[in-house]
Amino acid sequence: MSHFEYQNGVLHAEGVALSTIAENYGTPAYVYSKSQLTGNFDAYANACVGRDALVCYAMKANSNLAILDLLARRGAGFDIVSGGELLRVIAAGGDPKKVIFSGVGKSVEEMRLALTHDILCFNVESIPELHRLNEVAGSMGKKARISLRVNPNVDAKTHPYIATGLKASKFGVAFDDALETYRTAAALPHLDVSGIDCHIGSQLLDDAPLLEALDKLIELIDALGAEGIHLHHLDIGGGLGIDYGDGAPVPVGDYLGRLFKRIDAWRAQKHGGKPIKVIFEPGRSIVGNAGVLLTRVEFIKHGEEKNFCIVDAAMNDMARPAMYQAWMDMQPVVKTESDAAMFDVVGPICESGDWLARDRELNVAPGDLLVMKTAGAYGMTMASNYNTRGRAVELIVDGDKVHIVRQRENPADLFALESVIK
Ligand SMILES: *Cc1c(COP(=O)(O)O)cnc(C)c1O
């Protein structure tokens, strides 16, 4: 079930009317449902019960401390892509020993920070990165646990910007180069070769490409084992999609069930029954449908060819439509009976690319409230201050309680680090 439902014609987040939230906290606002968030995580956790598995939430999807804290308390690890994200995990009380570090451009400083906190694993994406990490670990008298991000070259059939497992991708090590790269890693004295990982793309509604990628990873684990390189974990990445209103993904439990079945069969037949830890890196499927972006209509403008509904949220609050031409569902907070017309929903920013939804049938007037649904992932984390717009307030609703988990930025904060030349 969804935790965003109409009650008496008014859209609610759990037990609180979004109209009440707009009155009390203003707009634009990101509103998250605690139950939806924790339920999404539990779907993964429940499918992993009794297994050696770790769900590392890919926090670039939404890195608010309150969200990290709620997930950490349920046992989540974290997939980070920067030193800043590691500091967030620590600030939220998460366990650095459950952190894996992804990304193609880790700096020396970031490596040092992660080694200081003894993270679980570095997901290494290139040979130069292996050498840099080996040097940094050596200089600290440590050994770095590593996994290689292998590019299994399966077509995730998603938007090109979020497909990451193809040959032309900047991510990972080519499948055909993987064995040689593992040999290089195994020969470096300050690295501890511990796993294998991949991440083939995002917003996958079908698990077939993920299972195909799993088969390719297993093939490599067998080949490495034959050379005496034994891996302790297998990390299948994230990528499971959510329903933006245009199609539902395979349920998490079904996907994990099929994945574990394949792993169990392989372990029994070829892996000598030996255990292997399984790691997941879900982002979008944990937070995406747990958040909405609440916005108020400023003006209605009738153009020559189109009607525009100008709202107080913009591409700086939610970049997905402008960046990926993403289709996001727009709904009125208060349902009305009267006639709808076609509108483009746009923000106040001085760019033609500043749109949130196109060609939508809406019944709207100035002052009305709208929500962009399924906006919890890659919303606030991609927000900017373009046009000197403070970022939106973030709220978590828990039953009939509303908690501010990030205050609205005020313009003075935005230029506080700037100075004029004396
Ligand atoms: C972004 C990312 C994820 C999370 O992807 P989702 O599609 O949000 O699940 C996982 N792993 C890596 C390496 C990523 O870059």
pLDDT of residue 337: 80
Residue carrying the six token digits 């978590």: 396
Give the dihedral of Cα atoms 59, 221, 147, 94; nearest 10 deg: 40
Mean pLDDT of 177-181: 97
H or E segment and range at residue 18: helix 18-25
Task: Quick: pLDDT tens for 18-72.
Answer: 999 999 999 999 999 999 999 999 999 999 999 999 999 999 999 999 999 999 9
Q: Which of 124-133, 267-276, 279-288, 294-303 shows the lowest mean pLDDT across its residues?
A: 267-276
Mean pLDDT of 334-343: 89
pLDDT of residue 356: 97
Residue 272 pLDDT level (bands cut at 50, 70, 90) = confident
H or E segment and range at residue 278: strand 277-280
Mean pLDDT of 347-361: 94
User: Which atom of ligand 1 lies at the shortest distance from residue 377's CA?
Assistant: 8
User: How high is the mean pLDDT of the chain?
Assistant: 95
The CATH number of 4-32+288-414 is which of 2.40.37.10, 3.40.50.150, 3.50.50.60, 3.40.50.300?
2.40.37.10
Cβ-count burial of 70 within 10 angstroms (0-12 exposed, 13-18 middle, 19+ buried)? buried
Tokens of residue 367, six digits: 């002052």
Task: Please report, for the chain, the start and end positions of each structural domain, with discontinuous segments joined by +.
Answer: 4-32+288-414, 103-280
Please tell me the distance between residue 134's alpha carbon and the centre of ligand 1 in angstroms: 25
- Higher pLDDT among residues 272 and 62, named by residue: 62
Tokens of residue 286, six digits: 């944990």
pLDDT of residue 167: 66
- Answer whether residue 166 shows pLDDT above 70: no
Task: Quick: pLDDT tens for 137-152.
Answer: 999 999 999 999 999 9
pLDDT of residue 384: 97
CA distance 257 to 251: 10
Question: Any binding-site annotation on 5?
Answer: no
Q: Which fold has domain 103-280?
A: TIM Barrel (3.20.20)
pLDDT of residue 65: 98
Type of residue at 27: T
User: Which atom of ligand 1 lies at the shortest distance from residue 203's CA?
Assistant: 7
Question: Any binding-site annotation on 30?
Answer: no
pLDDT of residue 157: 64
- List ligand 1's pocket residues with C-beta within 6 A: 58, 60-61, 79, 102, 199, 202, 237-239, 281-285
pLDDT of residue 273: 81
